[in-house]
Amino acid sequence: MKKQKFIRENFGISDGVLNLVDLSEKKLLVQFKRVEEIAEINQLRVMKAFSDNRGSASHFAATTGYGYDDIGRDMLDKGYAPIFGAEDARVRHNFISGTHTISRALYAVLRPSDILVSITGKPYDTLEEVIGISGEDGNGSLKDFGVRYMEIPLKSNGSPNLEEIKFTLTHTNVKAVTIQRSKGYGWRPTYSAKEIGELIEFVKELSPETICIVDNCYGEFVETEEPTAYGADLAAGSLIKNPGGGLAPTGGYIAGKKKYIELCAYRLTSVGIGKECGASLGFNRQMYQGLFLAPHVVAQAIKSAALCAEVFENLGFEVSPEPNAIRHDIIQSVKFGDPEKVIAFCRGIQKGAPVDSFVMPEPWDMPGYQDQVIMAAGAFVQGASIELSADAPIKPPYIAYMQGGLTYESAKLGIMMAAENIMKL
């Protein structure tokens, strides 16, 4: 077959790997069909938002300075809200990352002496310093401002500990809880939007005033509903992950209840100014086009994740989620149990990138993370993990987290290169 000959000759993939990948794809037909079905529903929701808001070229015009009356920016907020099943949203390139966006949501609603509780265990690494779990006194963390923090560890099966949550909510005046949808750098299931909705219902029954904030990173468009449609007061994420569709050059979004969204805008810009200012500088078109592409691109990433799971399970490694599992985020974990193998995997993924495919990733001390991390990424947008990427903290049990792939075809090449590397060890 011509294709196989090309891959063999130009990328050094052996027949063993080619056949394994071929067989793996055959076992994923039902999964792929399901993923395409979800993408279609999400695409239709995006199309409706565009048409309801009369999306047009005038929305792409750049504003400068204060950015008053930026209709493109305002329309994007209006379009995001119904897609997320939320009352309101703020979508801005001025949010510089997911961490920044989530931290704006936390600072927006928390006040000195308030209590914040993470009810899904340890939060994402970079949020530790924001909250004040780690980092120095006097740095302006939530703790520094007198916000108290409690954490309810997950049960051994990875689900939230309802008894402990109930105890805390009935004995303490909890201002806000955080729920992390995706597993992040953890070996636990990612929660579905519906499961998060049930958790929120549980919280609200015990403590109706408690604000439920969801770290929605990596979850957008993986299902047909978002946590905001299931009652989350706020959900936030990064535009260089799922909802930017690979085109947003930077940014973040927060969706949720109108009164809290206004506070988030105050925290992003200034109290009193909120959403009225913030020049879009010409980024609107990429944000709109990225949103338009996002349901499809996310589907590409999920298919790539499923292929990775099938291939590496066949090679004898434990994977999470299972190849045919219903997915709630775009992350695929593979447990290698060996530093050499995890490094070989990441180096293979790097070779499947369109940018910097010649680079050899090395473990390094990444700011905000406790352990050394190896990262494979060759992206058009620096650090964009909706583009094919893999990360692994260099610590037992040596788990690699792969995500992304703007196109299934290119991600498939990365997976083949990674499999080849592992088989050669």
Ligand X SMILES: *Cc1c(COP(=O)(O)O)cnc(C)c1O
Using CB under 6 A, pick the residue from 50, 95, 107, 124 that binds ligand X: 124
Residue 217 touches ligand X, criterion: CB under 6 A: yes
Q: Give the separation between CA 86 and CA 70, rounded to whole angstroms.
A: 22
CB of 238 to ligand X, least distance (A): 4
Task: Give the residue, chosen from 141, 168, 180, 389, that forms a contact with ligand X under the rule CB under 6 A.
Answer: 180
Instruction: Kindly write out the interface string for residues 329-368 of this chain, putting x where it contacts ligand X by CB under 6 A and - elsewhere.
Output: ----------------------------------------
Smallest distance from the beta carbon of 142 to ligand X, in angstroms?
A: 16
Closest residue to ligand X, based on beta-carbon distance: 98
Q: Which is nearer to ligand X, 50 or 218 (CB)?
A: 218
Shortest CB 9 distance to ligand X, Å: 37
CA gyration radius for the chain?
A: 21
Candidate residues 70, 129, 215, 226; the one interacting with ligand X per rule CB under 6 A: 215
For ligand X, the closer CB: 13 or 119: 119
Nearest-angstrom CA–CA distance, 375 and 392: 7
| Residue 63 touches ligand X, criterion: CB under 6 A | no
Contact yes or no for 240/250 (Cβ under 8 A): yes
9 class by beta-carbon count within 10 Å (0-12 exposed, 13-18 middle, 19+ buried): exposed
What is the Cα–Cα distance from 352 to 409, expressed in whole angstroms? 10
Q: Is 310 in the site for ligand X (CB under 6 A)?
A: no
Q: Are 291 and 1 in contact (CB under 8 A)?
A: no
Residue 182 binds ligand X, judged by CB under 6 A: yes
Asked if 242 touches ligand X (CB under 6 A), the answer is no
Q: Which helix (H) or strand (E) holds 346?
A: helix 339-351
CA angle 27, 32, 38 (to 5 degrees): 150
Task: Give whole-number Cα distances, 398 to 270, 331, 372, 373, 393, in Å.
Answer: 43, 16, 11, 11, 7
Q: Which is nearer to ligand X, 126 or 320 (CB)?
A: 126
Nearer to ligand X, 67 or 121 (CB): 121
CB-based contacts of 283, cutoff 8 Å, min separation 6: 62, 93, 248, 249, 250, 251
Q: Tell me which stretch binds ligand X (CB under 6 A): 75-83, 212-220, 298-306, 391-399.
A: 212-220
CB 113 within 8 A of CB 148: yes
Site for ligand X in 69-88 (CB under 6 A): none
Query: Contact between 118 and ligand X (CB under 6 A)?
Result: no
Q: Does 95 bind ligand X (CB under 6 A)?
A: no
Residue 218 CB, nearest distance to ligand X (Å)? 5
Candidates 22-30, 43-51, 145-153, 213-221; binding stretch for ligand X (CB under 6 A): 213-221
Question: Is the CB of 287 or the CB of 419 nearer to ligand X?
Answer: 287
Is residue 97 a contact residue for ligand X (CB under 6 A)? Answer: yes
By C-alpha distance, which of 252, 250, 251, 272 is closest to 263? Answer: 272
Q: How many of the chain's residues bind ligand X (CB under 6 A)?
A: 12
- 67 backbone dihedrals φ, ψ, rounded to 5°: 75, 35
Residues 6+ apart with CB under 8 A from 204: 210, 212, 231
The answer to whether 403 and 218 are in contact (CB under 8 A) is yes
Q: Is 42 in the site for ligand X (CB under 6 A)?
A: no
Tell me how far the alpha carbon of residue 227 is from its chain's centroid: 13
Q: Could you say which residues in the range 385-404 bind ligand X, by CB under 6 A?
A: none
Binding residues vs ligand X (CB under 6 A):
97-99, 124, 126, 180, 182, 184, 215, 217-218, 238
